[in-house]
Structure formats: structure tokens, C-alpha cells
Amino acid sequence: MIDLTEIFGAGNEPSKDWCDANIVSGTYSQTISYGVASTLNTKPSHLVAEGYTYQGWSTTPKSTSGTSQTVNYADGASVTNLTSAGSTITLYGVWTQNRYNITTNIGANGSITPANPTVDWGDIQTFTITANERYKIESITLDGEPINFNPNNLNYVTTYTYTINDVRMPHTLAVTFTDRVKLVIDVQNEAYAEGCYIYHTSYDDSTDTPETVTFYTKTLLGFKFKGWANENGEIVSTNQFETFNYDKNDVYCFYVVMEVAPARPEYVINTAADLLEFVNVATYSENHLDGVKVMLSADIDLTDLDLYKMYGFETFPHLQNYTGYIEYNGYSITKDGQYFDIFTGNLSTTPPSNTDIM
């Protein structure tokens, strides 16, 4: 390999045109008998040029005007009578500059120019990255390594120009984009996603017009509301009803923070509300009410239940992960004239036994 920096000093490297004409040099001779098939010697191993690939031999020298040479003979080719008897012929090495692909992986909601270019060895390649309207650049990586596209710590960056200098290998440039304007109202812990209902007034994310948004949450029995948290997990409000002035200038997040209600020493089920609280605490608490006594003390009919209207149930929830037992004490849980199995959610014409053990 020839390192131009070592030879000429940093900042004094010659141009590529000079390299084309001078960087590979050397001669050697070979005598071939006239009228006899012979094999051309292969190129000497010391004649190399970084960034170039040797192609073979040409009968014409490389033109300073940039005209490409024709490869007349491959390296080590079998030849007969290259020229007239007793004459000498000069063959010239043919070198082509290596070219490398730069793969551009671009996520949704933005663009890059140019896309997937092929670049000559030693050249530079500049890219322009642009986020779509209402989006911003989220990340840029080159070959998996992050690029600092926001050195001035701006609130967001929507356009960035990035240059790869001295291309000497293939590269992959990856870019992702994210929302610049968005309002997120959701539950913080996905494990509790079925433990509350979230409501908000309508708003239009596609316009820049500020809007006032009212939102609130209703936790199910068996859960406690703790507050609304921002994207960093910090509680910013403890009001279940909130009003927010959505100015359309940033991404705003409000997450419902909940916890499972404290377990009771025992559960006496008199109403559907009592049953719902028990089901949720048993399902989501850390020990799932293991060993807690549960007793049914009244018949409960889930048909046309007001709780369906309050919480929008498609069907009454049933126990998950509960390993204890329920004493029915001669009472039953019914729906639509059939017995409701609290462990499976199934309906049956057969009543459960006094004690069901999972």
C-alpha cells in the first residue's frame, strides 16, 4: 500500500489526477519466442495502488485526458505473436478506481438526498436530511455509530447536512424521525392498561391552531389514581380532570399513574362492585391475594349491570393469576340466566361447588 500522507505530509497530498498518472510505476521485461504460444507474466505483487484495482494489460498508455484504456490481455493470458519477429511491444497496466455503495436507510416521515449513492474511492459525499412537516430528526447513525446532529442543543432539528469524507469502504447511513408536534394521553404502566378508562375532548394534530384539550381518567375498582406524569415519569398533576392549552409547538405527554388498591384481610362479596374490586386486586397485586379469604354473601346477577355502562365492559372480567379459593356459601353469580364462572368467565347451566380451588 502507498500512504500519500506519509510521503507528502498531511495537507500536501497530491490530486487524484496526479495519482492516476504517477502513483503506480515500474517496468519489467519478458522475452517471448515468435510463433510459440506463451503465457504473459502476471503483474509483480509490489505494484499496487490503494483504492484501485488492476484489470489487465493494454497496448495503449493511459491518456492524460481521461480516456479509458482497453484491456487487450488479461493478467497471465496465453498469447502468440504479440508483434513481428524480433520486435518489442510495450504493454501498459490498466487500473480502475474502486467505487463503494453508501446505503441510506431512512425511516418514515422524512427524506435524504441523494439516496444510496455510489462513490469513487477517496471522494467525499454530502447528504441532506429533511424531516417532513410536523416531524423532527430523531437519530442519525453511520455504520451503527451515532452522529451528533444537534451540537447546539436546539429544541429540535428538522434539516441536517452530513458529509462523509474520504470514502474508502461501503457505509450504511441510517436516519429516523419522530413527531415534533404531538399530544400523548395514555396509561403509564401498560400492565395496568385495563385498569382505567381515559377520555379527552377531540383535537386536530394536523393544524398549527392552538387548542384547549380537557382530559380525565376513571380508574376501575381495585385501582388507585396517583396522578398524571410527563415523559420523564414526573407527576405534574394529581387532578383526575385536567385542562391543557395545546400550543402545537412540541410533543406533550400525560400518562395516568396508578397503583393497585391495598389488599383487604378478607373479601366479603355483597355486590358486583365488591366482586370487581376483588377481581382486579387479585389479578394485578404482587401476590395475587394468595391466602386471602373470599366469601360470597349474596346472589349477584351480572345481567344489565350498571357497571357495564360505567366501564364499557364487553363481558365482566374474570380472575387471572389468583391461586386462592372462593366460598360460595350457597350463593351464586349469574348472567343471562346462567351461572358465571369467575375463574374462566364462562357461562354454564351447572352451579359451582361451595368452594372452587384453582
Check whether 117 has a pLDDT greater than 90.
yes
110-113, strands of its sheet edge to edge = 110-113, 125-131, 159-164
Euclidean distance between CA atoms 60 and 69, whole angstroms? 7
CA neighbor of 162 nearest in space, from 194, 117, 207: 117
**Residue 325: per-residue pLDDT:** 80
Predicted structure pTM score: 0.56
Contact by Cβ (8 Å): 219, 258: yes
CA neighbor of 294 nearest in space, from 219, 357, 217, 231: 357
Q: How many percent of the chain have pLDDT more than 70?
A: 87
Euclidean distance between CA atoms 199 and 212, whole angstroms? 14
Check whether 208 has a pLDDT greater than 90.
no
**What tens digit of pLDDT does each residue of 143-181 get?**
999 999 999 988 789 999 999 999 999 999 999 999 888
What's the CA dihedral at 81, 85, 90, 91 to 10 degrees?
10
Q: Which SS3 state, helix, strand or coil, does residue 244 take?
A: strand
Residue 25's pLDDT band (boundaries 50, 70, 90)?
A: low
Least confident stretch, 16-25, 52-61, 149-158, 196-205: 16-25
Check whether 349 has a pLDDT greater than 80.
yes
Query: Residue 272 — φ and ψ, nearest 5°?
Result: -65, -30
Check whether 39 has a pLDDT greater than 60.
yes
Q: How far is CA 142 from the centre of its chain?
A: 15
- The residues, ordered by sequence, that sit 6+ positions from 162 with a Cβ below 8 Å of its Cβ are 126, 127, 129, 140, 147, 149, 173
Cell numbers describing residue 155:
429544541
Euclidean distance between CA atoms 27 and 18, whole angstroms? 19
Q: Which residue has the higher pLDDT, 171 or 48?
A: 171
Cell numbers describing residue 196:
382505567
- DSSP strand pairing (159-164 vs 125-131): antiparallel
Query: Residue 291 — φ and ψ, nearest 5°?
Result: 85, -5
- DSSP strand pairing (38-39 vs 78-79): antiparallel
**Residue 133: per-residue pLDDT:** 85
Check whether 291 has a pLDDT greater than 90.
no
Residue-wise burial string across 85-102, b where 16 or more C-beta atoms lie within 10 A, e elsewhere: eeeeeebebbbeebebeb
Q: How many residues does the chain have?
A: 358
Residue 290's pLDDT band (boundaries 50, 70, 90)?
A: confident
Contact by Cβ (8 Å): 233, 188: yes
The domains located in the chain, with CATH, are 1-97 (no CATH), 99-179 (2.60.40), 182-260 (no CATH), 266-357 (no CATH)
Euclidean distance between CA atoms 301 and 337, whole angstroms? 9
**What tens digit of pLDDT does each residue of 294-342 get?**
999 999 998 887 776 666 677 788 887 887 788 888 899 999 899 998 8
Residue 26's pLDDT band (boundaries 50, 70, 90)?
A: low
Q: Which residue has the higher pLDDT, 49 or 317?
A: 317
CA neighbor of 93 nearest in space, from 52, 37, 32: 52
Identify the helix (H) or strand (E) that includes residue 206. Answer: none
Q: What is the DSSP letter of 80?
A: S
